[in-house]
Amino acid sequence: MGLPALVRDVAIDYTALSLVAPEKVLFRYKLEGLDRDWQDAGTRRQAFYMNLRPGKYHFRVTACNNSGVWNEAGTTLDFSIAPAYYQTRWFQGLCLVAAILIGWALYHLRVRQVANSISARFDERLGERTRVARELHDTLLQTIQGSKFIADGVLLDPTNDPTRLRSTLEKLSGSLQLAVQEARGALNSLRASTTQRNDLAAAFREVMDECRRDTSMKTSLRLSGETKDMHPVARDEVYRIGFEAIRNACMHSQAKQLDVALTYALDLTLRVLDNGVGMDAVVLDKGRDGHFGLHGMRERAARIGGKLTIVSSQNSGTEMTLLVPGRNIFRKPGVSPLEKLKAAFKGPDRP
């Protein structure tokens, strides 16, 4: 007899014929494979089994008459309980294979995580070396190059005027002193950029003041929005991008007006605009030979997940715009929904 799957409790009824004293008939039974010994049932004519597992079973029952004589042959009942799908051997084998595959996948995932962690450390070291190179180029190298131009001007002067020579040497000394300060500042920023808190607007004002000392260019700085606390590394990258853009305008644009706009809103926006001679399309795309300023600006913007746009044409000036998402630079970029809605409709201020 076959029973369906998920049957766990079974009740078996049995009886024996006695014409003399049926109430004195005694019974005993045994379910082979489950009961070790015979189970004395007395006069009870029913056997109960619970929590049976799937499989085949052989049930035996014998009776004893009122004279105490047992029927050794007795009678038997064979039945089976079908297994559910999750109780079959093929399913258990499938689970075993799945467990092995999952373990294998987890092992390889862990190996990949370790490899990626090591690779990330190597990339971090390489990125730091690249950053050091950019710092030296954007500060020390450019100032030393400017000092060379001052010295070359004296060497090419056929008059050798002592007064002009002294003035030039004083200017050269100041330029070299600036190079020392910039080099020291670059090294200090590499050591403590994650702990220092700088004011971007104040830093840009200092760069523009330096620009006015060497040129007759007029400058203006517009600050919009409430200043927010920024991640030091991202803040330094923004400063270096703005520094490079302002220095380029001062040294190469021949502009009469330089405007800088710094906007704190949902995102951070920096604009540097001059009305100078502009840049050639080839220079704008690939930069000048031996110079890495534009390329370094784009690298810095990509490093912090920002978008850098430079628009320039002959005799119409140059406009540099840097947009950095707030989630990438602000330590606490929490903005109310109303402020987000205002920022979306208003957009960043233009100088």
| Predicted confidence pLDDT, tens digits, the chain (351 residues) | 888 888 889 999 998 887 778 888 899 999 987 888 999 988 889 999 998 888 899 999 999 987 788 888 889 999 988 988 888 888 889 999 999 999 999 998 888 887 777 666 656 666 666 666 666 666 666 677 677 776 776 666 666 677 777 777 777 777 777 676 666 655 554 544 434 455 888 888 888 888 787 778 889 999 999 888 888 778 888 988 998 889 888 888 888 899 999 999 999 999 999 988 887 777 676 666 545 568 888 888 988 889 999 998 777 889 999 999 988 888 764 455 555 555 555 555 444
Q: Cα(40)–Cα(83) distance, rounded to whole angstroms?
A: 30
Strand partners of residue 29: 39, 61
Q: Cα(214)–Cα(218) distance, rounded to whole angstroms?
A: 11
- Give residue 60's pLDDT: 92
**E strands within 33-67?**
39-42, 46-49, 55-64
Q: Cα(140)–Cα(176) distance, rounded to whole angstroms?
A: 9
Please give the helix or strand (H or E) that residue 166 lies within, else none.
helix 162-192
- Give residue 183's pLDDT: 66
Look up the pTM and report it: 0.47
- Give residue 194's pLDDT: 39
- Give residue 269's pLDDT: 95
Contact 25, 14 (CB under 8 A): no
HEC-encoded secondary structure of 213-259: HHCCCEEEEEEECCCCCECHHHHHHHHHHHHHHHHHHHHHCCCCEEE
Q: Cα(194)–Cα(202) distance, rounded to whole angstroms?
A: 19
Q: Cα(104)–Cα(141) distance, rounded to whole angstroms?
A: 53
Sorted by where each starts, the structural domains of the chain and their CATH numbers stand as 2-85 (2.60.40.10), 199-351 (3.30.565.10)
